[in-house]
Structure 1
Amino acid sequence: MGFQEIFGALPEASAKAPGRVNLLGEHTDYQEGFVLPAPLPYSTRVEAGRAEGRVEAYSENVRELRARPLESPPQGDFLDYLLGVVLALREAGHPVPGARFYVRGEVPMGAGLSSSAALEVAALKALRLLYRLPLSDREVAVLAQRAESAYVGVRCGLMDQMVASLGELGKAFFLDTRTLTHENLPLPPKTRVAVLDLGLGRRLAEAGYNQRRQEAEEAARRLGVRALRDVADPSLVEGLPEPLNKRARHVVSENLRVLRGAEALRRGDARTFGELMVQSHRSLSQDYEVSLPELDQLVEEALGAGALGAKLTGAGFGGAVVALLEEGRYEAFRKALLSRFPGLRVL
């Protein structure tokens, strides 16, 4: 099945965007900090055609056709992301009257691999072609984030959309979310990244993400800074009340880990980078409290199976684990983990 079978016409434009795994830098982007994700070889492809006054979309993943007028409120389904990007374009002054979409998604949903940003960026790039919009890849990312935050209701930072729009496969994407300066850095020689998905799925807007963001904002306010990115010394957060001290401790230390991680990648130092991943996970689990016992166990098992580093990836409250390992150990690593977790997907 395809666009023509659903809508009775050929698509007029198509585009794709990858999911991402975050190597370092969780919950730092909405505090104007540093992040270090990497695009995955799994993409969402969107075919698009013109429409007037509405957005229609068919998703192969959920096998549903949905349609909604432009003035409709969000309804908690996949169409929210597509209507959101159309509205973001219109609010930015681009004359987009509506659209039809056919969506094919390879990015596992609910695994913390940013299937939503892949969908938003792919849809925006298809609309850019369809309506000949003068948008750079960076502007696409900004509009995608605006759609998810303002319309869908998830107050996400800009990391996912930037790496989906500007990242390069096989490289880590170092991003300063305040200035939007970025650099694609090669992964260490003879290593590979593995994504470990237990199928724990989650819903960000309903699982505490917005609460953590509010706690980080309150911590920054009490410390008298614009964002926690402006706190360079982790000891400065210790005077905050619980749990704000723990939330701020994670964000401040995580920013430092990203900067050290970028330097490790520039040196090709896989061992140091792996150690930073482990530190990141422990901070996410103990200070930011967004891990789950299943994820903590999977991280420890991955390290025991030979990973140089492992951590949860994404916002937490479910999702997946990312591991860095020597390329030659991948098959033994995979077999060891599958023997412990029979339902595990190793991507």
Structure 2
Amino acid sequence: MGFKEIFGALPEASAQAPGRVNLLGEHTDYQEGYVLPTPLPHCTQVEAGRAEGRVEAYSENFKELRARPLTSPPQGDFLDYLLGVVWALREAGHGVPGARFYVRSQVPMGAGLSSSAALEVAALKALRLLYRLPLSDREVALLAQKAEVDYVGVRCGIMDQMAASLGEAGKALFLDTRTLAHENLPLPPGTRVAVLDLGLGRRLAEAGYNERRREAEEAARRLGVRALRDVADLCLVESLPSPLDRRARHIVGENLRVLRGVEALRRGDARAFGELMTQSHRSLAQDYEVSLPELDALVEEALKAGALGAKLTGAGFGGAVVALVEAPRYAAFQEALKARFPSLRTL
């Protein structure tokens, strides 16, 4: 099955974008902080063709064909993201009359690996080719975020879209989410990144995410700063009432961990980087309270199996764990975890 079988014509453009896993910098992007994601080898591919006044899309994963006029509101399905990027382009003054899409994705959904950003960025890059739009990869990321926030209605930060649009294989994208200054840094030599998925899905992720975001905003307000990124001294957060003190402690500490992680990457220090990942997980579990017992157990078992560091990745409340593993030990690491968690998927 392909574009021609669904739409009766050959596609006029195609593009792809990767999912991402976040190595450090969890829940910092909506407080204008620092993040350090890396793209996955798993991509979403989009083929596109012209259409007038509507968006049509077939999802190979869902085996569904959907179509709606450009003026339609979101309806809670995968087509929202594609209508959203066309809407964002039109809002930005690009005269896109509509589009047809054929979508296939290798990025697991619901695992915190940014399947939505991969879809948005791949669709925008296909539309850029289709309609010869003068857009940089940075502008593509910003439009993808606008589509998700203002059309789909998910209050996401910019990290996922920037990683999908600007990330490079085998490198970590060091991104300042306030200025959008970015740099791709090589991962430590002789290591591999493992994504460990128990298929938990995400429990109450949206409600929990929105609550944490409100708490972070309130903490910044009480400390008199524009964003928690502007708090340089961890001692300042101790003046906040509970649980705002713990929420701010995580974000301020996580920004420091990203900056130390960048220094470790520049030195090629895999052990120091792995230790920062593990510290990040402990903070996410204890101070930000977005982990689950299953994720905590998986992190501990990954460390016992030889990982240099491990942490949950994404918003939490489910999703996946990311681990840094020395390449020669990778097969034994996988085998040990598979024996402990028979249903585990390693990406």
TM tier relative to shorter chain:
over 0.9
Between the aligned partners of 1:80 and 1:204, the Cα distance in structure 2 is 21
Q: Is the 8 A contact 1:34 1:176 kept in 2?
A: yes
Alignment of 1:260-299 (within 5 A): 260-299=260-299
Distance 1:13 1:205, change over 3 A: farther
The amino acid of 2:138's aligned partner reads R
Quote the residue 1:76 is aligned against.
76
Quote the residue 1:301 is aligned against.
301
Query: What SS does structure 1 have at the residue aligned with 2:239?
Result: coil
The runs of at least 4 consecutive aligned structure 1 residues that moved more than 4 Å come to: none
Q: Is the 8 A contact 1:15 1:122 kept in 2?
A: yes
Quote the residue 1:134 is aligned against.
134
Alignment of 1:1-347 (within 5 A): 1-202=1-202, 206-347=206-347
Over aligned residue pairs, what C-alpha RMSD do you find? 1.0
Q: Once the 2 structures are TM-superposed, how far is the Cα of residue 207 of structure 1 from its aligned partner?
A: 3.9
The amino acid of 1:124's aligned partner reads L
Between the aligned partners of 2:133 and 2:30, the Cα distance in structure 1 is 28
Unaligned runs of 5+ in 2: none
Q: Is the 8 A contact 2:205 2:318 kept in 1?
A: no
Between the aligned partners of 2:256 and 2:164, the Cα distance in structure 1 is 24
Query: What SS does structure 1 have at the residue aligned with 2:290?
Result: coil
Between the aligned partners of 2:164 and 2:124, the Cα distance in structure 1 is 11
Q: How many residues align?
A: 347
Q: Once the 2 structures are TM-superposed, how far is the Cα of residue 214 of structure 1 from its aligned partner?
A: 1.4
Q: Is the 8 A contact 1:57 1:100 kept in 2?
A: yes
Percent identity for Structure 1 against Structure 2? 86
Query: What SS does structure 2 have at the residue aligned with 1:200?
Result: coil
Q: Once the 2 structures are TM-superposed, how far is the Cα of residue 284 of structure 1 from its aligned partner?
A: 0.5
Between the aligned partners of 1:21 and 1:88, the Cα distance in structure 2 is 25
Distance 1:190 1:27, change over 3 A: same
Q: Once the 2 structures are TM-superposed, how far is the Cα of residue 206 of structure 1 from its aligned partner?
A: 3.2
Between the aligned partners of 1:202 and 1:78, the Cα distance in structure 2 is 17
Q: Once the 2 structures are TM-superposed, how far is the Cα of residue 62 of structure 1 from its aligned partner?
A: 0.8
Could you list the per-position Cα deviations for residues 225-271 of structure 1 after superposition, in whole angstroms to 9, with x for gaps in the alignment? 11110001111111112221111111100000000000000000011
Of stretches 132-141 and 215-224 in structure 1, the one that deviates more from structure 2 is 215-224
Q: Is the 8 A contact 1:154 1:205 kept in 2?
A: no
Query: What SS does structure 1 have at the residue aligned with 2:46?
Result: strand
Of stretches 282-291 and 200-209 in structure 1, the one that deviates more from structure 2 is 200-209
TM-score normalised by L of structure 2: 0.98
Could you list the per-position Cα deviations for residues 280-336 of structure 1 after superposition, in whole angstroms to 9, with x for gaps in the alignment? 001111111111110000000000000000000111111100000110000100000
Between the aligned partners of 1:134 and 1:218, the Cα distance in structure 2 is 39
Q: Is the 8 A contact 1:257 1:276 kept in 2?
A: yes
Q: Once the 2 structures are TM-superposed, how far is the Cα of residue 10 of structure 1 from its aligned partner?
A: 0.9
Between the aligned partners of 2:10 and 2:204, the Cα distance in structure 1 is 35
Unaligned runs of 5+ in 1: none
Distance 1:149 1:203, change over 3 A: farther
Q: Is the 8 A contact 1:154 1:204 kept in 2?
A: no
Between the aligned partners of 1:109 and 1:202, the Cα distance in structure 2 is 10
